[in-house]
Amino acid sequence: MNCHPTLCGMLVEVDDGQVTRVTGDPDNPDSRGFLCVRGQAAPEILDNPRRLLYPMLRATRGGRWRRATWDEALDLIVQRMRAAGREAVATWPGHGIFANNYGTRIHSHLLRRFSNLYGCQWWSPAIICWALGGFGLGLTGLLEPNTKEDMGANANLILLWGANLASQPNTGRHLAAAKRRGARIVTIDVRETEAAAQSDETVLIRPGTDAALALAMLHVLVVEGLVDRDFVARHTIGFPPLAAHLRAHTPAWAAEITGIPAARIVDLARRYAGTRPAMIVVGGSSMHKASNGWHAARAIACLPALTGQVGIAGGGLGPRHGASLRGQVLGNIVALDRRPPGDDVPSQMTRITESLVSGRVRVLLLFGTDMLSSFADANRVAEGLARQDLVVCYDLFENDTARRFADVLLPSTSWLEELGCKATNTHVYLMPQVLPAPGETRSMPWLLRALAERLGLDDFFPWRDDVELVDAMIDVPATRHATVAALTAEGGMRAMDVSHVGHPDLTFPTPSGKLELFSELAVSRGLPGLPVYEAPADSPYPLTLRQGRTLTAFHGFYDHGQALPSLAKADPEPVLWISPADAAARGIPDGAAITLANARGEMRARAYVTSRIPAGTVWMRDGWSGLNTLTSGDAVLPDAAVEALGFSAGQAAFDARVDVTPLG
Ligand code: SF4
């Protein structure tokens, strides 16, 4: 599933056209033979009775599917696209189409090229993933991570701040290496995660209060003289206003908000400043899923800035999903300069939902994604999907969106049935096609070429074949000019020419080129100039719901794992973590059937009563049907800020306060 920055290597044994064995590749420098339970389940994709093998059409939603030819399906799609007009057509890709090209994002870039040349809406997949957290880090200026290898070899204190290992289990090997050297590991999270089990200590925090903790730690650095004044003078701007702003953000103030005792906040700040090198691994996505979550990333990025722990081995920010290292720049095929002017809906979740509901968008093409489970305020999204003239889902399996709203299903090839090329933070990998495409499954490039031909987009695919397409992306200085032919000759992998240390020359992608403790750019886009803590809105519902990951699921892959028997068996139904106190107050025993509800929606689940989560917080793995009927679809950033850093940070709030009751 490619939980970047890992991307495990597989050895696939094929006999007479059948896969006989899939094992971890011990020679893969990123994964060293490891495959998690998700990777081990991958062979269950092949020959799976639920797999989509043929284009399917139906006359009415909820009606029976019938098999169609590709020509019939594509002709219908193009006819509806033409009838709606290009600006009323939208494409939205998900992680599913990255399955064979994460890190290079070839299929996503190809879809963006198609959308730019045609002039339809294109929305970034990053709006449900790493981008909003990246926005917070990027306003301060710390976007480049140090690698997991650097963390294992050099960090002496590691703060796993909202960062779990369930998404990126390979990071665990490097944490273990750091521990063997005597490094101390601290987890900061809303519950005791898999990462907490690997840590020396766990700091449990109230959801949505991470910015308050970071501001109080910054306060301690300033009042106790723990600031690296030379570094701050040379490499940051805005220290005087930040220092003045921090006066009120005392540990006692933060203790009330976060639930963490003031003495512990002081101790954490002192240890962070007093340990060199110290690294912070910031969560990729879950911790930013609230209206104020991105403020935390912005404030956290000030900690290395004030202590001068930037651009050094073992310091800075650690491995983060979706982040790129210095020098990790691949080819650009998206043809943005050729996009015709038009009525563009920004990559802002709230605006996207509005465009579906209002009829501004009428034909929706979804690629490897389950929009209904991904977007916040799912009932409103469902309203918008119901109003579409045509919904097309291209995937390996049906998912909630496809079952309820698709008019056309297009069957996708899997990772062994097409040419693939991926990149981690440090290596580029080639995945040759080893199986014929089953049934009438087709690859993403094939599908987009067929659509482009029908639409008369002559220059959409200027390459002779998929090999030339891959070469156009990877034949760049960062890969030392890798090509498919060169990688094939080298056994399929090559180390990239990148720095294991983020911001090694202490330059930063901000308007000033320095770390910006105060950001004029933020002010110009309607945001506060300094990092702030914003209290969540009051709610009549008593429990704060958070969502995250388990080892058995990653994004919406394989109908959220339910299409693969071993993953479905391991994780068969929605389970809600709830504290013993909250469960007892509601008469809920462990394992009981429950309902979560608020004014927006409700869902059923089973209670997991555990002291690993504090009272007042409940938690569930993301993706379950109905979960996002409970979450807020309000915009987090002003539209003017969404693209301010060159990537789309238009995630909705996902805030959810709920109550939980026993069922029946
Ligand atoms: S899902 Fe598992 S096997 Fe696949 S890349 Fe991630 S850790 Fe590796």
Mean pLDDT to the nearest integer, 410-419: 96
Distance 552 CA to ligand 1 centre (A): 10
Q: Determine the 3-state secondary structure of 115 from DSSP.
A: helix
Determine the atom of ligand 1 nearest the C-alpha atom of 2: 5
Check residue 66 and report its DSSP letter.
Answer: E
Ligand 1 contact, 206 CB (< 6 A): no
Give the Cβ contact number of residue 69 at 10 Å: 12
Per-residue confidence (pLDDT) for residue 328, from 0 to 100: 85
Ligand 1 contact, 95 CB (< 6 A): no
Ligand 1 contact, 554 CB (< 6 A): yes
Is 317:618 a contact under the CB 8 Å cutoff?
no
Taking all residues of the chain, what is their mean pLDDT, rounded to a whole number? Answer: 96
Q: What is the chain's length?
A: 664
- Candidates 578, 611, 570; CA nearest to 596 is 578
Q: What percent of the chain has pLDDT over 70?
A: 100
pLDDT in tens, 21-32: 999 999 999 999
- Candidates 481, 529, 538; CA nearest to 655 is 538
pLDDT in tens, 518-536: 999 999 999 999 999 999 8
CA dihedral of residues 149, 152, 157, 161 (deg, nearest 10) = 60
Tell me which of 169 and 345 has the higher pLDDT.
345
User: Tokens for 175?
Assistant: 């944490």
Distance 566 CA to ligand 1 centre (A): 15
User: Tokens for 647?
Assistant: 């990537």
Does residue 144 have a pLDDT over 90? Answer: yes
Which single residue is written with the structure tokens 């009838």?
83
Ligand 1 contact, 2 CB (< 6 A): yes
Strand duo 575-578 + 363-367: pairing: unpaired
Does residue 664 have a pLDDT over 80? Answer: no
Determine the atom of ligand 1 nearest the C-alpha atom of 169: 7
Does residue 126 have a pLDDT over 90? Answer: yes
Does residue 1 have a pLDDT over 90? Answer: no
pLDDT in tens, 259-273: 999 999 999 999 999
Task: For residue 596, report the phi and psi dihedrals to the nearest 5 degrees.
Answer: -105, 135
Pocket test for ligand 1, best of 2, 101, 165, 558 (most atoms within 8 A of CB): 2
Per-residue confidence (pLDDT) for residue 6, from 0 to 100: 77
Is 134:300 a contact under the CB 8 Å cutoff?
no
Mean pLDDT to the nearest integer, 575-582: 98
Per-residue confidence (pLDDT) for residue 132, from 0 to 100: 95
Does residue 167 have a pLDDT over 80? Answer: no
For residue 52, the one-letter residue type is L
Pocket test for ligand 1, best of 6, 10, 95, 431 (most atoms within 8 A of CB): 6
Does residue 2 have a pLDDT over 90? Answer: no
Measure the CA–CA gap between 110 and 192, rounded to whole angstroms.
40
- Candidates 94, 11, 67, 1; CA nearest to 39 is 1
| Shortest-distance Cα residue to atom 3 of ligand 1 | 39
Ligand 1 contact, 166 CB (< 6 A): no
Ligand 1 contact, 7 CB (< 6 A): yes
pLDDT in tens, 642-653: 999 999 999 999
Pocket test for ligand 1, best of 4, 12, 34, 35 (most atoms within 8 A of CB): 35
Q: Determine the 3-state secondary structure of 533 from DSSP.
A: coil
Measure the CA–CA gap between 104 and 313, rounded to whole angstroms.
26
pLDDT in tens, 185-226: 999 999 999 999 999 999 999 999 999 999 999 999 999 999
Give the Cβ contact number of residue 436 at 10 Å: 10
Per-residue confidence (pLDDT) for residue 326, from 0 to 100: 84
Ligand 1 contact, 38 CB (< 6 A): yes
Does residue 321 have a pLDDT over 90? Answer: no
User: Residue 471 — pLDDT band, cuts 50, 70, 90?
Assistant: very high
Per-residue confidence (pLDDT) for residue 61, from 0 to 100: 96
Mean pLDDT to the nearest integer, 275-284: 95
| Shortest-distance Cα residue to atom 8 of ligand 1 | 8
Pocket test for ligand 1, best of 2, 3, 566 (most atoms within 8 A of CB): 3
Q: In what order do the strands lie in the sheet with 278-282?
A: 201-204, 184-189, 157-161, 278-282
Ligand 1 contact, 169 CB (< 6 A): yes
Distance 44 CA to ligand 1 centre (A): 15
Ligand 1 contact, 645 CB (< 6 A): no
Measure the CA–CA gap between 385 and 401, rounded to whole angstroms.
8
Per-residue confidence (pLDDT) for residue 170, from 0 to 100: 86
Pocket test for ligand 1, best of 4, 8, 12, 171 (most atoms within 8 A of CB): 8
Ligand 1 contact, 8 CB (< 6 A): yes
Does residue 109 have a pLDDT over 80? Answer: yes
pLDDT in tens, 348-402: 999 999 999 999 999 999 999 999 999 999 999 999 999 999 999 999 999 999 9
User: Residue 322 — pLDDT band, cuts 50, 70, 90?
Assistant: confident
pLDDT in tens, 423-434: 999 999 999 999
Distance 162 CA to ligand 1 centre (A): 20
Determine the atom of ligand 1 nearest the C-alpha atom of 554: 1
Measure the CA–CA gap between 271 and 557, rounded to whole angstroms.
40
Determine the atom of ligand 1 nearest the C-alpha atom of 3: 6
Ligand 1 contact, 35 CB (< 6 A): yes
Ligand 1 contact, 1 CB (< 6 A): yes
Per-residue confidence (pLDDT) for residue 637, from 0 to 100: 97
Per-residue confidence (pLDDT) for residue 265, from 0 to 100: 98
Per-residue confidence (pLDDT) for residue 286, from 0 to 100: 86
Ligand 1 contact, 392 CB (< 6 A): no
Distance 4 CA to ligand 1 centre (A): 9
Distance 38 CA to ligand 1 centre (A): 6
Out of 78-82, 86-90, 183-187, 535-539, pick the least confident: 535-539
Distance 5 CA to ligand 1 centre (A): 10
Determine the atom of ligand 1 nearest the C-alpha atom of 36: 2
Per-residue confidence (pLDDT) for residue 168, from 0 to 100: 80
| Shortest-distance Cα residue to atom 2 of ligand 1 | 36
Check residue 459 and report its DSSP letter.
Answer: T
Does residue 240 have a pLDDT over 80? Answer: yes
User: Residue 284 — pLDDT band, cuts 50, 70, 90?
Assistant: confident
Does residue 228 have a pLDDT over 90? Answer: yes
Per-residue confidence (pLDDT) for residue 165, from 0 to 100: 82
Does residue 131 have a pLDDT over 90? Answer: yes
| Shortest-distance Cα residue to atom 1 of ligand 1 | 1
pLDDT in tens, 37-69: 999 999 999 999 999 999 999 999 999 999 999
Distance 195 CA to ligand 1 centre (A): 16
pLDDT in tens, 583-637: 999 999 999 999 999 999 999 999 999 999 999 999 999 999 999 999 999 999 9
User: Tokens for 11?
Assistant: 């050895």
pLDDT in tens, 532-559: 999 988 999 999 999 998 888 888 889 9
Element (H, E) at 658: strand 657-662
Determine the atom of ligand 1 nearest the C-alpha atom of 37: 2
Ligand 1 contact, 36 CB (< 6 A): yes
How many degrees, rounded to 5, is the angle at CA 567 between CA 64 and CA 14? Answer: 90
Per-residue confidence (pLDDT) for residue 256, from 0 to 100: 98
Does residue 7 have a pLDDT over 90? Answer: no
